[in-house]
Structure 1
Amino acid sequence: MSRRLPPLNALRAFEATARNGSLTRAAQELSVTQGAVSRHVTQLESWLGVRLCLRLRRGIETTPQGAAYAATLRSAFDQIEAQTQRLRARSIDNTLRIKLPPTFAIRWFVPRLARFHALNRHIDVQITTSHQQVEFDRDDVDLCIHSGAAPIPGALCRKLFGEILMPVCSPGLFKSAPPPQEPADLARFVLLCSMHRGEDWPDWLGTAQVKTIDGNSGLKFENSALAYQAAIDELGIVMAQRAFVEDDLRTGRLVAPLPLRVQTKNAYYLAYPRSRQDSPLIKAFEQWIVQETAQMEETAQMEEVAP
């Protein structure tokens, strides 16, 4: 369905006139004659069938309908101008603006960022973190990593890896108590988790068929990165995502006392606007992160089958 809009020049002329309160000043701003501005405003009024402004001896005065219409136009033009400036700035710079979930950024992305920078020294990376889903038409970002059960509507999305839950803790936690031999033994320990992931413990315990432990009990933190640090500091056992603790497991800073792994319905996706799919910066990042995640999955599979 095609849009039925008034002539753009008429909209610009009226918005400038209403904002300046003068046909003369609007003409100066638009670099046209006062007569041209007056004709455009008259044309717009005729097109709408509404009186937008009153011509006075010392200027113009908008009618109530005209003032409301001018405010709407001003907001729309402001948004167009701001987005245009952002696009023009991006076309001449080499900055890649990325929005990430906090724990993904801290536990997975930042430790690997040096490898991306080594391959793409001409690209400057700007990172912001948030649990809120990105809005590409409002947020000043080029791409994001999205966590959830489905991709972001209207964006190009590529699945990177799924979520696999597993309980982990510091080996020092077992200096004064024996490690759990089965899931029910977790009742002897403090459970740690993120406030944003309140279903992780209940889901894992449900799969383990443990009904004697309240999965909502224990210590809760603002994000998973804090919960992982609490586990390292021997406060208890955290329900972790495998991808975010693999390095700690390899170094022995964390251990997995129980073998059960639970795969959730959620996954991590790379997402960016369709309008940016030909960006060389985004293409370079997508190629790199897909290789990184593929290598991570391959290494994890090899470690699972190793004796």
Structure 2
Amino acid sequence: MPPLNALRAFEAAARHLSFTKAADELFVTQAAVSHQIKSLEEYLSIKLFLRKNRSLLLTEQGQAYYLELKDLFESLHLATERLLAAGAKGALTVAMPPSFAIQWLVPRVNQFNQQYPEIDVRIKAVDFDDGFLEDDVDVAIYYGRGKWSGLKVDKLHTEYLTPVCSPMLFNGSKPLDSLDDLKYHRLLHDSTRESWKSWIRQFHVSGVKVEQGPIFSHTMMVLQAAALGQGIALANSVLARPELASGRLVCPFEERAISKSSYYLVCHESQAELGKIATFRHWLLEQVKEDQDEDLS
């Protein structure tokens, strides 16, 4: 086989009858195209181009070779388009924590289905994100610091941690006017007590019994407990948004902390711009952008 880069340079130069235009198309220098053509002519031991009156002409053998290669390059282009078109259809498996699926993605899936009916989204709930995509997963949403090697990583939202509770607590006998009033209420914990400990240290709140209060293994559980008036939860701003919008939960204070962790969209680096994975990735990032635009408006 002749060197493929040289064939590509020859096809472009022969089509344009210009080394300069071929270089522009291939995003290389004119000298690089000239070098590739020279190497191809040496490989074939055949002169492919003639320069005459500052114009570039194909030799008879070069013309015949170009016509053969032209059909081959067109066939390759069509084969690639058909492959990509096929890859843009079918099932797409997306793995993510169940709380994110329920609170953020599931309400939006119908929009994706309407825009791309040829792609069948399959949501797989997972409770861990070890940075390894299983063979049956095309795209995943992980929660963490965004450091997963070998993967294409897109940060979704800037996360805020803020206390939330049921409006019923404002009608109770315990005050809820300032951060110091947290000591009169039960704290609800998501997985561990560390989030509340860090939040209270950041805002210098004293007298709060952080070591007390129930611990829930999923965010949805702690949000549900808060909505039922069982205490005050420290909520992720993205996941709590539906309950805050409906009025089931309210933010008793203005203070909020930026979370060190966020949700990230991840996929294999080599597949980020291919087929249905690229379609879903661009759609989801656009949804996040609309969310952020709403927050700013």
TM-score (norm 1): 0.65
Cα distance in 2, alignment partners of residues 300 and 143 from structure 1: 26
Task: Give the 5 Å matches for 1:5-84.
Answer: none
> Which residues of structure 2 form unaligned runs of 5+?
1-85
Structure-2 change in CA distance of 1:91 and 1:290 (3 Å): closer
Match of 1:143 in 2: 139
Q: Structure 1 residue runs of 4+, over 6 Å off?
A: none
Q: Deviations over 1:96-152 (max 9, x none)?
A: 101101211111111221111121111111111122125546442001011111232
Task: Give the 5 Å matches for 1:135-284.
Answer: 136=132, 138-195=134-191, 197-284=192-279
Q: Tell me which amino acid in the other structure corresponds to 1:97.
A: T
Cα distance in 1, alignment partners of residues 217 and 133 from structure 2: 28
Cα distance in 1, alignment partners of residues 293 and 131 from structure 2: 33
Cα distance in 2, alignment partners of residues 299 and 107 from structure 1: 17
Structure-2 change in CA distance of 1:93 and 1:119 (3 Å): closer
Cα distance in 1, alignment partners of residues 164 and 268 from structure 2: 37
Identity %: 31
TM-score (norm 2): 0.67
State how many pairs are aligned. 212
> Which residues of structure 1 form unaligned runs of 5+?
1-89, 303-307
Q: 1:199 Cα shift?
A: 2.1
From 268, 293, 296, the equivalent of 1:298 is 293
Q: Deviations over 1:16-49 (max 9, x none)?
A: xxxxxxxxxxxxxxxxxxxxxxxxxxxxxxxxxx
Q: Deviations over 1:36-86 (max 9, x none)?
A: xxxxxxxxxxxxxxxxxxxxxxxxxxxxxxxxxxxxxxxxxxxxxxxxxxx
Cα distance in 2, alignment partners of residues 113 and 215 from structure 1: 38
Q: Tell me which amino acid in the other structure corresponds to 1:121.
A: P
The answer to whether residue 123 in structure 2 is matched with residue 122 in structure 1 is no
8 Å CA contact 1:160–1:293 kept in 2: the answer is yes
Q: 1:226 Cα shift?
A: 0.7
Q: 1:198 Cα shift?
A: 3.3
Match of 2:94 in 1: 98
RMSD of the alignment, in Å?
2.0
Q: Tell me which amino acid in the other structure corresponds to 2:113.
A: H
Q: Tell me which amino acid in the other structure corresponds to 1:189.
A: H
The answer to whether residue 274 in structure 2 is matched with residue 286 in structure 1 is no
Shifted more, 129-138 versus 111-120: the winner is: 129-138
Q: 1:174 Cα shift?
A: 2.6
